[in-house]
Structure 1
Amino acid sequence: MTQTAIEIAPDSALLVIDVQKGFEDASFWGPRNNPAAEENIAALMDAWKASGRPVVLVQHASRVAGSVLAPDQPGYAFKELVEQRRYESLLVTKTVNSAFYGTPDLADWLTARGIGQVVVAGIQTNMCVETTARMAGNLGYDVLVPLDATHTFDLAGPEGLALTADELATATAVNLQGGSFARVVTTAQLLAA
């Protein structure tokens, strides 16, 4: 498969999805994949800051009782790598998977600035990252997803069906690019663009 050159728009927005301390709780989430995700997210945040492009931080405020991501729990806070790089980033708070159903309204914010391209990174690959990327694609944005700047966890489904975190990440890549929602790329490709 030939990879075409990636062009990053001068105002491309980096959406950093749910990089919160609660996702460090292995007893709650189970096994994860991609231990380099946080390093890649930090590299993208640094590159976006250096280039003057906008960064949007998305924070999940779970309404599920006992969730490690509930606003009254320590896990609601951003991981240090994000906290150290907040700068003047927009903060969107959400209670569902898509960052487009948060406060303030992400689509309104992007539209007001004439932003047509978004890069979606963060946690979890197959949940909030994929949902946000799919919706961005549906809304007409040019969407890039650096899969290596995301991670997820093993997940069990109906009737004993289960997938590993790596299998879920692969499914997300196929869903997003195969379904024409987004282009799946690497952090290195974005940093070199």
Structure 2
Amino acid sequence: MEIAENAALVVIDVQKGFEEEFWGKRNNPAAEENIAALIDLWQETGRPVVFVRHDSVEGSQSPLRTGYVGNDFKDFVEERRGKGAGPELLVTKSVNSAFYGEPSLQEWLTGQDIAQIVIVGIQTNMCNETTARMGGNLGFDVVFPLDAMHTFDLEGPFGWSRSADELAQATAVSLHGGLFAKVVSTEEVVKGASAGVR
């Protein structure tokens, strides 16, 4: 696993509102620990970090709505913002893809000559997957450490429902098998990002 010296870590929607019962049962209780470890590594090695925040639209009852405490980043993320030696960006959005946020993620990455992005955060099969698909379509080398994110059980059409683990697995198969992203583990990313670092 090769991680570029200027690969950007894109930390998506790690917000307090996702701790509410509104969302249902989640998976991967280790997600936050792995996200924190990757932020720390990126900051220690001077790599760029992008923090993405979802601002639900006005009038929404979403726990992520602006002006509500759920819109805030989780404490472990907020405590790390601004602490790195490398470039840092805050992107706000109201849709799934971080590429449709403000300021433009694509323009910022291109301006920094960044070709590789590592996506972590919440939710695996929603904003993370959408951002990964779009990143792949835009020509970025997308790395997707599946254990540095989580999602929730979900009901769909025809009486179908899937557990959070099943949804995460479907995302992994679609992204990896469809060549949108390399689906890996946090350990693989850490090894790749640490190689050659003194």
The normalised TM-score by structure 1 is 0.95
Distance in 1 separating the partners of 2:154 and 2:38: 27
Q: CA deviation at 1:89?
A: 2.4
Q: Give the partner amino acid of 2:148.
A: A
Q: Give the partner amino acid of 1:66.
A: Q
Which sections of structure 2, spanning at least 5 residues, go unmatched?
A: 193-198
Q: Give the partner amino acid of 1:183.
A: K
Q: CA deviation at 1:65?
A: 1.6
Q: Which runs of structure 1 show a deviation greater than 2 angstroms over 4 or more consecutive aligned residues?
A: none
Q: CA deviation at 1:192?
A: 1.1
Structure 2 residue aligned with 1:172: 171
Aligned residues: 187
Q: CA deviation at 1:15?
A: 0.1
Is 1:70 aligned to residue 65 of structure 2?
A: yes
Structure 1 residue aligned with 2:15: 20
Alignment of structure 1 residues 61-140 onto 2, 5 Å: 61-63=55-57, 65-87=60-82, 89-140=88-139
Q: CA deviation at 1:66?
A: 1.1
Is 1:59 aligned to residue 59 of structure 2?
A: no
Distance in 2 separating the partners of 1:185 and 1:51: 20
Q: Secondary structure at the match of 2:34?
A: helix
Q: Secondary structure at the match of 2:41?
A: helix
Q: Which of 33, 42, 53 pairs up with 2:27? A: 33
Q: Secondary structure at the match of 1:108?
A: helix
Structure 2 residue aligned with 1:142: 141
Which sections of structure 1, spanning at least 5 residues, go unmatched?
A: 1-5
Q: Which moved more, 1:105-114 or 1:88-97?
A: 88-97
Structure 2 residue aligned with 1:48: 42
Is 1:154 aligned to residue 153 of structure 2?
A: yes
Q: CA deviation at 1:109?
A: 0.2
* RMSD of aligned alpha carbons: 0.8
Superposed CA deviations along residues 74-114 of structure 1, whole A, max 9, x for unmatched, are 10000011001101621000000000000000000000010
The normalised TM-score by structure 2 is 0.93
Superposed CA deviations along residues 129-174 of structure 1, whole A, max 9, x for unmatched, are 0000000000000000000001000000012100000000000000
Distance in 2 separating the partners of 1:184 and 1:67: 29
Distance in 1 separating the partners of 2:52 and 2:27: 21
Distance in 2 separating the partners of 1:189 and 1:67: 34
Superposed CA deviations along residues 34-83 of structure 1, whole A, max 9, x for unmatched, are 00000000000000001100000000001162110001111000001100
Distance in 1 separating the partners of 2:162 and 2:18: 18
Q: Which moved more, 1:58-67 or 1:72-81?
A: 58-67
Structure 2 residue aligned with 1:3: none
